[in-house]
Amino acid sequence: MNNWDTSYKNSLMNESRLLIKLNAILNIIGFKNYFFNSITFILMGFVGEFLIFKSLLLKFNFKYPKILFWSMVLFPSIFLWSSGILKEPLIILSFGLILNSLSRKRKTKWLNISTFTIALLIIFKVKFYVFICFFPALISYLISEKTKLKPPRLIFAFCIIIALALLIMGNMKSSYNPLKILSEKQNDFITLSELFDTGSAFKMSPIEPNIISLIKAIPMGAVNGFLRPFPKNINKLLQLLPLIENILLYLLFLYLSYKIVFLKIELNKDVKNILWNSLFFISMLFVLTGISTPVIGALVRYKVPGLIFIIIVINLMYDQYKKHPTK
């Protein structure tokens, strides 16, 4: 309770309450044994990764499924942040349940609907910022799958809707003003990083609770979210891993993108749909965390849900490339 309860409240919810309740239940089952709680969370994260893997295999006939599985399970940041009593295992489990409910065809549709709804509610309760990035991408994916509308057009439409919603709600004198909440969260994070001298903090310009200030912060947020840590941010050996991960992931993505364009590989509708909307989710998540988080350790952790989908994107692109006869 002392580790999860916090004096920093927001207008929407205390995101840690579900974790406190879940650990209280596990304390009863496991007789207050910390290792029982820890193993349970690790198991939830692994089950989530396995469900993601099985769901993608049902949807796409991967040529090298083992690469997909092990790249997801053993990727350092995902492995680290899903190996303890944290929110990340619950988020990964929720992703797995959602993808499983969308890919598996059951005679009893209510089971898929129930699983889908419960998983979305878990994300909503545990990490609201992940939910507001994931939900538009999920709806865009579902609309594109059921209609002939192309993902880029839908994503552009959703970006306009989000911008209009922020513009309207940003002028509200309410505690539910998203711009005000974001500004306060960033200010709290900057204050905490200075107060506790985390050692991995970097300078960040405070944003004001208005749309102009947010627009100005987006480019630097993208730089922080996608590219940090920079070499100058590295103070410990452990902080070197995220830098290596970034270099590896982006080089692979650029190489595979070049090969797909150069070889003129035609991607089918399902592959395009998941690729575009995964990139939509990743971009929103990384920009949002890059705007609000001035600490490298926290930034790496908050990016974990996006890393799951970067690995999915790279594996799908690699699979399409390897299946091409003139590779």
Q: 237: burial class by Cβ within 10 Å (0-12, 13-18, 19+)?
A: exposed
| Segment 100-125, tens digit of pLDDT | 999 887 777 888 899 999 999 999 98
Residue 2 in this model has a pLDDT that exceeds 60: no
| Segment 61-77, tens digit of pLDDT | 888 999 999 999 999 99
Q: What is the pLDDT of residue 15?
A: 66
Q: Which residue has the higher pLDDT, 3 or 25?
A: 25
Residue 88 in this model has a pLDDT that exceeds 80: yes
The lowest-confidence range among 168-177, 241-250, 260-269 is 168-177
Contact 322, 258 (CB under 8 A): no
User: What are the residues facing 295 on neighbouring strands?
Assistant: 201
Give the three-state DSSP class for 107.
coil
Contact 287, 216 (CB under 8 A): no
Q: Which of 182, 178, 191 shows the shortest CA–CA distance to 295?
A: 191
Residue 84 in this model has a pLDDT that exceeds 50: yes
What percentage of the chain exceeds 90 in pLDDT?
Answer: 54
Residue 269 in this model has a pLDDT that exceeds 60: yes
Contact 81, 301 (CB under 8 A): yes
Residue 1 in this model has a pLDDT that exceeds 70: no
| Segment 35-51, tens digit of pLDDT | 999 999 999 999 999 99
Residue 8 in this model has a pLDDT that exceeds 70: no
Contact 291, 189 (CB under 8 A): no
Distance (Å, rounded) from C-alpha 253 to C-alpha 272? 15
Q: Which residue has the higher pLDDT, 6 or 92?
A: 92
Query: Which amino acid makes up residue 45?
Result: G
Contact 134, 309 (CB under 8 A): no
Q: What is the pLDDT of residue 7?
A: 47
| Segment 147-178, tens digit of pLDDT | 889 999 999 999 999 989 888 887 777 667 88
Q: What is the pLDDT of residue 298?
A: 87
Q: What is the pLDDT of residue 198?
A: 66
Q: Which of 157, 151, 154 shows the shortest CA–CA distance to 268?
A: 151
Q: What is the pLDDT of residue 110?
A: 84
Q: Which residue has the higher pLDDT, 48 or 195?
A: 48
Distance (Å, rounded) from C-alpha 317 to C-alpha 271? 9
